[in-house]
Amino acid sequence: MSFDPAAIMNQVLNALPYPIGKDNLVQLAKQHGANDQVVSMLERLPDKTYNSSQEVQGELGNLGNLGGMFKR
């Protein structure tokens, strides 16, 4: 079985209610079944309110190697 962190991250992010703060984002991602790698990436996000999954993905793209899968 292959592991696709980008697909898992997208599924989790699309299930969350927006706007959402970082702490709630991490908590709800865990509740929606995010694995440790996904949670770790979310915990590295800036502490702010996010208005969409695209905004979260944009911030993840700025994190360097861990967020590189979201670079456009």
pLDDT tens by residue, 32-72: 888 888 889 899 999 999 999 999 989 988 886 554 454 44
What is the model's pLDDT at position 32?
84
What share of residues in the chain are helix, strand, coil (percent, to 5)? 55, 5, 40
- DSSP, collapsed to helix, strand or coil, labels residue 30 as helix
Which pair of tokens denotes residue 23? Answer: 């702490």
Q: How many domains does the chain have?
A: 1
What is the model's pLDDT at position 51?
97
What is the model's pLDDT at position 50?
97
Q: How far apart are CA 9 and CA 15, in angstroms?
A: 10
Q: What angle do CA 21, 24, 6 make, to 5 degrees?
A: 90
| Residue-range definition of the domain harbouring residue 33 | 5-70
Which pair of tokens denotes residue 33? Answer: 């079944």
What is the model's pLDDT at position 71?
44
Provide the pLDDT confidence category of residue 19 given band limits of 50, 70 and 90. very high
